[in-house]
Chains A and B, each alone.
Chain A
Amino acid sequence: MITQVANPILEIHDLTVSYDQSPVLWNVDLSLPPGQLIGVLGPNGAGKSTLIKSVMGLVPPTSGHILIFGKELNSVRSKISYVPQRESVDWNFPASVLDVVLMGTYGKLGLFKRPGKKEKELSMECLEKVGMQAFFNRQISELSGGQQQRVFIARALAQEADLYLMDEPFAGVDMATETAIFQLLKEMTQEGKTIVVVHHDIHSAMNYFDWLIMLNLHLVASGPKNEVATEELLRKTYGGKLNLLSKVSELIRQTDFNPLKS
């Protein structure tokens, strides 16, 4: 079930990506509407990170092409923001929380220029939005996993982009913080920003996202949440994972979850 939109903010055409000759993403073809909170669902190894990385130009596609705001990636880099999976960096790096958030402003600064007062104020505001302002001077090696994740979200906010791609930004983040940040992301979409989030918790996914992408090597679904959040498509996405399946059906039995009733 794939819904294509007119005037998409991101369009992916016939994308196939392989590592060492074996494809991990097959023929993904989708387009995303602007101003929405978009969730990417799928089991481990489904190719969610690979999808995000190929949009960001970090892995070369075997075939297919991607347009962002109708343009090639290189001409719109300053309008896209990225939260990588936390494990992608070594948190023993000698930097303070503020240093890392400041990195979000480097793209707009360009080569050689140093971040100044303006960039620091912006970074502090972004830290405040994720509730980490008290830690601005703390070394990142002294943070908990969830706090590190929040620093990464703040760094993405400091990019002041129009399209945000976040790879599991809530891994290890506590419920209260997750709710607050989802609220913040919602407000950002109301200002016209588009936010794509890889997310593992199906329950909260049903609560927050406007649009869902379901992935399992192939694209299973992409469309408005109300249309694609069906037991059948979720089964197709998570197929074979017995544990999950029973959990999914249990969730679907819950009335507040049933998308057809909302």
Chain B
Amino acid sequence: MMSFDPNAFLIISTASLIAISCGLLGVFMMLRKMSMTGDAISHAVLPGIVIGFFISGSQRGLEVIIGAGILGILATLMIDWFRKKAKVQLDASIGITFTLLFAIGIILINVLAYKVDLDQECVLYGEIAYLPIDLWITGSGMNLGPRITWLAVLNLILVLGFIVSLFKELSLTSFDEGFSLVIGLPAGAINLALMSMVSYTTVSSFEAVGAILVVALLVVPPATAFLWTKKLIPLIKITAGLGVIISIIGYYFAYWLDSSIAGMMVSVSGVIFLASAILKSKKPNFKFGTKIADKPFSI
């Protein structure tokens, strides 16, 4: 039996928190057929991070989160505008938007290099392994524990609050946007709110898992869970469970192979998805022949 390793526990629980936050939002992104918009957002926040860094002088400033949030919303609006007003196909508008914004971010890093000492590796790939030594020390010198874990806790609380309070609006606008407009629910505002939460979650997680690998956590667990259930609540629960499983297996495989934890988490989630897809495609359909006959009725 392995002895209890507080660092391993910290890393696994932080990774789980992040994976759950991403997965919960990812479920609704998937149901809106917008999984790739999450991809676009995760790239597009880069200029926001750089500008926020430039203003605050630190990678940890609130300005960084705000900058990224604004860029995330901007990316969503750009994609929407290209699609609806310029009649560009959805995949093309996503491709144009995020490569453009990402490129601007890279140029900004170069141009502002004297002022912005941004670790590109860290922004893109994250480094969750250093989490236990990156502590949150208050002004008076009190040690409150690992900073990134606190960020992940706050992130999950906000994501949960968001989804619980707007659950019916989120599901209705995902299923039938026209109907939600007809009954007067502000579908556009709810969509933007969801995109803002995705942007915020992306920045909040980028130091741990990186802005790019965050995408995998948004997309893969919900897609895997959807292979196993057709019901919304179980779909959400399985997605959250997968987030925890991916974190545990990912950590120990990375530890064992001495590789990137975030990279291993994503690989593990990919393998779980593949295995599920293969299992599901081979499963015989036992339901056949047990359906209730549908009778015409009379009043």
**Which residues of the other chain, B, contact A56 by a CB distance below 8 angstroms?**
178, 182
What is B's interface to A at a CB cutoff of 8 Å? Answer: 31, 33, 165-169, 171-172, 174-176, 178-185, 226, 229-232, 235, 292, 294-299
Are B175 and A159 interface neighbours, CB within 8 A?
A: no
Are A74 and B184 interface neighbours, CB within 8 A?
A: yes
Residue of chain A at shortest CB distance from B236: A94
Assuming A74-B184, A103-B175, A174-B296, what are 11 further A-B pairs, CB within 8 angstroms?
A56-B178, A57-B181, A77-B183, A78-B184, A89-B175, A93-B174, A94-B229, A94-B231, A107-B183, A114-B167, A155-B179
A82: CB under 8 A from chain B?
yes
Instruction: List A residues 120-149 near B (Cβ within 8 Å).
Output: 129, 131, 134-135, 139, 141-142, 144, 147
**Which residues of the other chain, A, contact B232 by a CB distance below 8 angstroms?**
94-95, 99
- Pick the contact of B297 from A88, A112, A142, A176 — CB < 8 Å? A176
Are B297 and A131 interface neighbours, CB within 8 A?
A: yes
Are A100 and B175 interface neighbours, CB within 8 A?
A: yes
What is A's interface to B at a CB cutoff of 8 Å? Answer: 53, 56-58, 74, 77-78, 80, 82, 84, 88-90, 92-96, 99-100, 103, 106-107, 109, 111-112, 114-115, 129, 131, 134-135, 139, 141-142, 144, 147, 155, 159, 174-177, 180, 183-184
Are B184 and A103 interface neighbours, CB within 8 A?
A: no
State the 4 A-B residue pairs at the shortest beta-carbon distance, nearest first: A107-B183, A176-B296, A131-B297, A77-B184
Are A114 and B235 interface neighbours, CB within 8 A?
A: no
Give the docked Cα–Cα distance between A155 and B176 (Å). 12
**Which residues of the other chain, A, contact B167 by a CB distance below 8 angstroms?**
114
The contact sample of 17 A-B pairs, CB cut-off 8 A, is A56-B178, A93-B175, A94-B31, A94-B226, A99-B171, A107-B183, A107-B184, A107-B185, A114-B168, A135-B292, A142-B230, A147-B294, A159-B183, A175-B296, A177-B296, A180-B298, A184-B299
Are B298 and A112 interface neighbours, CB within 8 A?
A: no
Give the docked Cα–Cα distance between A174 and B293 (Å). 14
**Which residues of the other chain, B, contact A184 by a CB distance below 8 angstroms?**
299
Are B297 and A139 interface neighbours, CB within 8 A?
A: no
Residue of chain A at shortest CB distance from B180: A106
Residue of chain B at shortest CB distance from A104: B183
**Which residues of the other chain, B, contact A159 by a CB distance below 8 angstroms?**
183
Residue of chain A at shortest CB distance from B291: A142
